[in-house]
Amino acid sequence: MNLSFYPVDITYEVKDGKPIIKLFGRTTDGKQVCVLDDSFEPYFYVQGTVSEKKLESVQKDEFKVVRVEKCKKNVNEKEEDLFKVIVNIPKGVPVLKEIIVDMTGVKKVYEYDILFTRRYLLDKKIVPLTKTKVVGEKIAANCKVDCIKAKSIKKESDEIIEPRIVALDIETYNPDNSLNAKKNPIIILGLYGDNFSRVVTWKKFKTSNKYIEFVSSEADMLQRFAELITEYQPDIITGYFTDGFDFPYIVERAKINKVELDVGLDYSTIDIRGRTRKEASITGIAHVDIFKFIIRVIARSLKTDQYSLNAVANELLGATKHDVDIEHLFDVWDKGGKNIEQYCEYNLQDCKLTYDLTIKLLPNLIEFVRIIGLPIFDVNRMSFSTFVEWYLIKKAQEFNEIILSKPGHNEERERMHDRIQGAFVYEPKPGLYEKIVVFDYRSLYPSIIASLNISKGLVNCKCCKKASRINTDRGEFWFCTKQKGFFSEIISELITHRAKIKKELKQKQNPLLAAQVEALKVLANSFYGYLGFAPARWYCIECAESTTAWARHYIHKAIDSAKKEGFDVLYSDTDSVFVQLGKKSKKDALDWVKKINDDLPGLMELEFEGFYPAGLFVATKASESGAKKKYALLDEKKHITIKGFEAVRRNWSIIAKEVQQEVLRLVLNEKNTENAKKFVRETIEDLRANKIPVEKVVIRTELSKTVEGYSTVSPHVAAAKRMEKDGKKVSGGTIVSYVVTKGKGKIRDKVKLPHEVKQKDYDGEYYIDHQILPGVERIFDVLDVHIDELTKNTKQKTLEHF
DNA sequence: CATATCTGCTTACC
DNA sequence: ACTGGTAAGCAGATACG
C-alpha cells in the first residue's frame, strides 16, 4: 500500500538482533499511524591505516561489526580516506568504537555519538511534521494505531501538518508550600484543545460548568487523564514547565496510586529522564514544554523580564491568568464546596493560555524543525548553540564533511580559559544633540564570516599568500582562498536565503514566512558565539578572534571615513555609527554610505538605520567621561528609544524609572528643562511625605544562586533571607522583591519584604538619594542644571542648609 | 577612623 | 541552565594614610 503521512515522533526497538525504526505520525486523511523501517543500520567512521578484515572481526558481547566500507570524506575540510564501519545494533557503536580506537594504525574515530534515530532522519532526509511518502504493508503489532512496515520511505513535499494539540495543567494540594509529590496529591487536572475543555477533580460541588468532570479519587483522576489523552489523539501535548513540574508530578502520583498511565501509542507510560533537568516524553506524541522554547529562544525578543505564564501570556497574547489566591487552594479544598469552582476555572484558563501560546509560537518552532530536521520534541529543548551545531551536522552530509567529535572533558576545560577580544565601543561626548543619523552594518558578524571565508579548516593555509590578513592578540590570521569554507559557506547560504524570503515577505505578509525570517536571523546570529563556545564540535578560537578583529577593522573604517567626510561622529557600538548631520543633509549621509559600501567585500553592507531629530548622551557616574551603552533618541514620530538607562533596568524601583523616563521625555521631546526640574522636585517631596505607594518603591533583583553561595550580603540577599524565614523557597533564578525602610545601619539591615511594610515605613530619603537623584543627575548635568536646584527649595533641605 | 579603591554582583547593549 | 565580549553602577569589603 501507498500512504502519505507527517511524522511526529521517532523511536526504535531492537528485535531479533536488528534495529527497527518506528515513526509515529498522522496520515493525510487524519489517522494516526506507526511506520516501521528495519532497513537502516548504525555506523561510524574510522581514520587510519588498518586492514578491513581486522575491523570486520571486531565484536563484544552481542555487538559486532557487520561490514566495513571504504569511503572518501572531508575531515576538517581536507579529503581523506576513511572506513565506514557498520554495526549490528545502535548500542554497539560506542562499545565497538572504544575497541577500535585502541587498535594499531587507527588514528581517529568519528560520528560515534550521533543518536540512531537522529541519524536515521538526517541520512534519509526525512523532516518531522513534513509530508512523507511510504510504500509498505500493514502488519499486526502491539500498538494503539495501525502499523505499516515500510519498503520505502522518503520525503514527499514541504507541506506541513496542522497538528492536533492539547494543553495540560495541574493544581496540587499544597498546605506546606513545598510542592512535594510524595506527600501531596494532585487535586485538579485540566486539558484544553481544539473545541475541547475538560477539568477533572475529585471533590464534588454544585456547578453548571459543563467542562468540569467529577471522579471519586486522585487515582481515578489520573486514570481519566490517560483515557482523555487516548480519546483526543493529540499529536502534541503542550504545557508550561511540564518537563520540570506537571509530568514528573503526575508520574510520581501515578506510582503512589498504582495507576498505569499507558498513554504512549505503544502502550508505554510517560518517561521522565534526568534529575536536575528533567524531560518528559511519551512515545508517539510530541511533548512540547513551551516554557523551554520561550526561555531559550524567544526570551530575548520579549520586553518582559519575567517568564511566568502570566507575564508571557500578557505580552504575547494580551491575556492574563484568572486572579485567585492559589496559595490557599489547600484550605478551600479542605473545606470543600462551591469555592473550589474558581480554581477549576483558573486551571482551565491556564490550559487555554498555554494552548494559545503554543499556537502562536508553533510557526517559529516548526521553522526550526524544518531547518534542523529533528523532531519537535528535540528542537523544543534546544538552545542557540545546539541549533547551530545540528544545522552544521545536517549540512555536513551535503558537504561530505565528517561531523567533528565533541571535545573531551579536559579539552573543554582548557577551552574555557580561551578569551577573545570583543567589539569596539566609541566613547560619546555627553550632550544633547540634534539631527542624528544612525547607520549599522547588517548582520555584521555573519557577513564577516561569510565574506572573509572564515572556517575552521582554512585557518592560515600554506598555499595562500594573497589572502587578506588580520592582526589579533593571538597573531595574524588568514583563510584559504582556494576553496569555499564549510562554515562560511553555510552561513553565506543562510544570509542569502533569508534575504530572499524577506523580500517575499515584503510583497505579502505571511506568518509562516515571518517565522522563517526570524528563525534564520536567530540562527545566523548564533554562529559567531558558537565558534567560541567550549563544548562546540566546530570550536575555532582563531575564527572567533578573526571575526571580531575584522569587525573592529570595519567599524573603525566607517568612523574614520565619516569624520573625514565632515560628519561629527557621536557614538558607535560594535556595528553601528551615530553621526550628527550638522550643516549636512540626509542625502549627504546616504551618499557617504554608498561610497563605503562600494569598498566592502562580499555580503557586507552598511545600512541606514534611522534619523533622529534629537538624542542625549550622558557622563558616567564615576568620571567626566561619556557613558557607553547608555543613550536616548527621539525619532520623528516623537517616540523615544531608551538604551542602558536605569529606566530600562529591572533592578530599579518603578518610581525611579518613571521619573527618569519622564525627564527624558520633557528634555528630548518638549525641550522643557523647567518642567523637568519641577517634576523631579514634586516627586522628591512626595517621597519625603511617603505619598508614593509602596508598589512603586519595590526593588526587584534576581538571585543568581542560593543564599549560602553569596560571599557578601547585599540588600537582595538580605531580602532572600527574610523570604526563607517566611518558609518560601528561594534559589538561583528567584526574583526577590524588597523595600528599604527607615532605620539605622547598612541598607541590608533596613530591607523588608513588600508585604511587611506600610506606606509610611519606607525610607523616602533613601529613595531620593539612591534611586531618584542618581537616575536624573547625569541628565541634568548635560543641561547645566546643578543637583542642588532639584533638592534645594524643597522645604526640608532648605531649612537644613541655612 | 574616614576615604579611596577593589570586589562581587546584576543587568544592560550589541 | 550550556553562544560571545563590553560596559555601567550599586553595596559591601578592604586597603590606606
What's the pLDDT score for residue A727? 84
| A430/A474 same-domain check | yes
* Nearest protein residue to the C1' atom of C1, measured from CA: A277
What's the pLDDT score for residue A465? 84
Residue A202 CA to residue A213 CA, distance in Å, equals: 8
Other residues' Cβ atoms within 10 Å of the Cβ of residue A142: 7
pLDDT surpasses 80 at A328? yes
Q: What are phi and psi of A552, to 5 degrees?
A: -65, -40
With beta carbons less than 8 A apart as the criterion, state whether A700 and A650 touch.
Answer: yes
Is residue A379 in some structural domain?
no
Q: What is the span of the domain harbouring residue A171?
A: 165-372
What's the pLDDT score for residue A146? 97
Is residue A555 in some structural domain?
yes
- For A308-362, give the DSSP string: SHHHHHHHHHS-------GGGHHHHHHH-STTHHHHHHHHHHHHHHHHHHHHHHH
Q: What angle is formed at CA A462 by the lines to CA A457 and CA A464, rounded to 5 degrees?
A: 90
pLDDT surpasses 60 at A613? yes
* Residue A304: band (very low, low, confident or very high) from pLDDT cuts 50, 70, 90: confident
Percent of chain A at pLDDT exceeding 70: 99
- For A370-434, give the DSSP string: HHH-S-HHHHHT--HHHHHHHHHHHHHHHTTBPPPPPPPHHHHHHHHH-------EEPPPPEEEE
Mean pLDDT: which of A32-36, A360-364, A626-630, A649-653 is highest? A32-36
* Residue A800: band (very low, low, confident or very high) from pLDDT cuts 50, 70, 90: very low
Lowest-confidence region among A84-93, A219-228, A411-420, A530-539: A411-420
Is residue A395 in some structural domain?
no
Percent of chain A at pLDDT exceeding 90: 85
Residue with cell 549636512: A584
What's the pLDDT score for residue A794? 52
Q: How far is the CA of A563 from the C1' of C9 (A)?
A: 31
Nucleotides of C under 7 A from a protein CB: 1-13
What's the pLDDT score for residue A729? 85
**Residues 473-532 of chain A in contact with strand C via CB under 7 angstroms:** 526, 528-530, 532
Q: What are phi and psi of A667, to 5 degrees?
A: -75, -50
With beta carbons less than 8 A apart as the criterion, state whether A82 and A71 touch.
Answer: yes
What's the pLDDT score for residue A797? 43
Mean pLDDT: which of A88-102, A517-531, A609-623, A775-789 is highest? A88-102
| A756/A614 same-domain check | no
With beta carbons less than 8 A apart as the criterion, state whether A503 and A495 touch.
Answer: no
Residue A74 DSSP SS3: strand
Q: How far is the CA of A301 from the C1' of B12 (A)?
A: 14
pLDDT, one tens digit per residue, over A574-605 is 999 999 999 999 999 999 999 999 999 999 99
Query: Is the shortest CB-to-strand distance from A632 to strand B under 7 Å?
Result: no
Q: How far is the CA of A170 from the C1' of C10 (A)?
A: 41
Last residue of a domain, one of A160, A179, A210: A160
pLDDT surpasses 60 at A190? yes
pLDDT surpasses 60 at A793? no
Sign for the CA dihedral angle at A203, A206, A209, A215 comes to positive
Lowest-confidence region among A60-64, A192-196, A766-770: A766-770
| A203/A122 same-domain check | no
| CATH code where residue A629 lies | 3.90.1600.10
* Nearest protein residue to the C1' atom of C5, measured from CA: A422
| A622/A577 same-domain check | yes
Is residue A415 in some structural domain?
no
What's the pLDDT score for residue A798? 39
What's the pLDDT score for residue A622? 79
> From the alpha carbon of A641, which nucleotide's C1' atom is closest?
B13
Last residue of a domain, one of A143, A160, A177: A160
pLDDT surpasses 50 at A230? yes
| A143/A236 same-domain check | no
| A112/A257 same-domain check | no
Nucleotides of B under 7 A from a protein CB: 7-14
pLDDT surpasses 80 at A17? yes
* Residue A291: band (very low, low, confident or very high) from pLDDT cuts 50, 70, 90: very high
Q: How far is the CA of A694 from the C1' of B14 (A)?
A: 35
| A243/A354 same-domain check | yes
- CB neighbours of A60 closer than 8 A, spacing ≥ 6? A92, A95, A96, A99
Is residue A381 in some structural domain?
no
Is residue A65 in some structural domain?
yes
| CATH code where residue A239 lies | 3.30.420.10
What's the pLDDT score for residue A802? 34
Q: How far is the CA of A135 from the C1' of C9 (A)?
A: 66
| A221/A324 same-domain check | yes
Q: What's the whole-model pTM score?
A: 0.93
**Total number of domains in chain A:** 4
| A171/A117 same-domain check | no
| A277/A342 same-domain check | yes
Is residue A403 in some structural domain?
no
Last residue of a domain, one of A117, A145, A160: A160
| pLDDT (average), residues A525-554 | 95
**Residues 733-772 of chain A in contact with strand B via CB under 7 angstroms:** 735
| CATH code where residue A717 lies | 1.10.132.60
Is residue A35 in some structural domain?
yes
| A704/A586 same-domain check | no
| A719/A582 same-domain check | no
Query: Is the shortest CB-to-strand distance from A651 to strand B under 7 Å?
Result: yes
**Average pLDDT of the residues of chain A:** 93
